[in-house]
Amino acid sequence: MKKQLDYLGVSAFCESMGMMMQSGIHTDEAVGLLLSDSKASDGVLQQGLTVMKEQVDQGKSLDEAMKESGIFPKYALQMVAAGGSYGRLEDILFRLSNYYKEQKTISEKIKNAVTYPAAMLILIIAVLLVMLVMVLPTFTEVYNKLTGSLAASSYRYIHWAYGFCWAALIVMVIIAAALIIGLILWKNGKRETVEGFLYKLPLCGELLESLGKFRFTSALGTFLASGEMQDKAVEESIPMTDCKKVEEVLHRCKSRMEEGHSIAQAAYDEELFEPVYGRMFLAGERSGNMESVLARLTKLLEENCTGLVDRIVGIVDPLLSGVLMVTVGMALLSVMLPLIGMMNSVG
């Protein structure tokens, strides 16, 4: 299986193709120009464009050439095929460019939100190991040399220090192991298992649902802009959510549509969105401005996603920092108390 373009690569390709086609350049010429610009690199795009050039020279359509290249995601292929069929290819290419830019922004936001706490977790584990292996044994040895042996009260303080550090270390290691196991399960197709756990955590379930709704509205707007019929557009957009709970609600909406309801009415009845968003969706459909309302709704959901990510980071980062400071502070206080006692007795 060929390596696919990342979000930014797909966005750049769609935007470049859209601009050239808007300028009146034919598909084969546009692909040739992009290929000549990418000759300096030997990356995924250059290899894919080489295959595409061969295909368009044989008379294949853009979506067929993209499919043969093997470097584009399924959603992009579906959109380009639909846009070409309904004569709205340029518009769809620009929409795809914006869609993948938004996906890149959110994915980078989530990645950065996970990276810092993960680094902080590693730092905490390292500090606690240093405390247990080097700092506390050193204090214990010094006290033994000074007093011959630790007094009962002093020994109790040292025990507390070890207890604080070991308890914090065990908790941090369990959290780190859970993160690693979750990442492995996610990459191996066990998404539902990981989601089931994340839904139990504050804000995480809300973030997953908001991301799913964002992907759905963005995909639905693009499908409708391509000229696809509403029921078909909804059906094709459901797999884009990557969120089981949102998919379940959307399947109920689809059933309502089969009974004669519109997607906006079905979404409002099934409470797919918050009431204010649901009424916005209904108003857009009734006024004939479905595409513009979906674009606005997609933007609002994107902002909600980034806001939730910021809130999670705002909770996790101070919490981890607090655990580190409190644990180390309590441990150091416990080992300093015997020293203070000895200094008072000497005085």
Cα separation, 66 vs 82, in Å, equals: 13
Alpha-carbon distance of 50 to 68, in angstroms, equals 11
Boundaries of every domain in the chain = 7-72, 102-347
Q: In the chain, what is the straight-line distance between the N-terminal and C-terminal CA atoms, in Å?
A: 77
The predicted pLDDT at position 224 comes to 82
Burial of 93 (0-12, 13-18, 19+ CB in 10 A): buried
Beta strands in 20-101 (DSSP E): none
Task: Give, in order, the Cα–Cα distances in Å from 251 to each of 56, 237, 239, 267.
Answer: 38, 11, 10, 10
Element (H, E) at 100: helix 89-130
Tens digits of residue pLDDT in 283-340: 888 888 888 888 888 888 888 888 888 888 788 778 877 877 877 777 777 667 666 6
Residues 6+ apart with CB under 8 A from 195: 208, 243, 244, 245
Burial of residue 259 (CB within 10 Å: 0-12, 13-18, 19+) is exposed
Q: How many CB atoms lie within 10 A of CB 336?
A: 13
Report pLDDT digits (tens) over 34-60.
888 765 455 788 888 888 888 888 888
Q: Which two tokens stand for residue 232?
A: 């078909």
**Cβ atoms < 10 Å from Cβ of 161:** 25
pTM for the structure as a whole: 0.73
List of long-range contacts for 105-108, beta carbons under 8 Å, 24+ apart: 105/302, 105/306, 106/211, 106/214, 106/302, 106/305, 106/306, 107/7
Q: Helix H segments across 188-289?
A: 191-198, 204-225, 230-237, 244-258, 263-269, 275-286
Helix (H, G, I), strand (E, B) or coil at 90: helix
Read out DSSP for 133-173? IIIHHHHHHHHHHHHSS--HHHHHHHHHHHHHHHHHHHHHH
Q: What is the full DSSP assignment across 165-210?
A: HHHHHHHHHHHHHHHHHHHHHHHTT-HHHHHHHHTTSTTHHHHHHH
The domain made up of 102-347 has a fold known as Receptor-associated Protein (1.20.81)
**One pLDDT digit (tens) per residue for the chain, 347 residues:** 567 788 888 888 889 888 988 888 888 888 888 888 765 455 788 888 888 888 888 888 888 888 888 888 888 888 888 888 777 888 888 888 888 888 888 888 777 777 877 888 888 888 888 888 887 787 777 766 665 555 555 566 677 777 878 888 888 888 888 888 877 877 776 766 777 777 777 778 888 888 888 888 888 888 888 777 888 888 888 888 878 888 889 999 999 988 888 888 888 888 888 888 888 888 888 888 888 888 888 888 888 888 888 888 788 778 877 877 877 777 777 667 666 655 555 54
Question: What Rg value do the Cα atoms of the chain yield, rounded?
Answer: 29
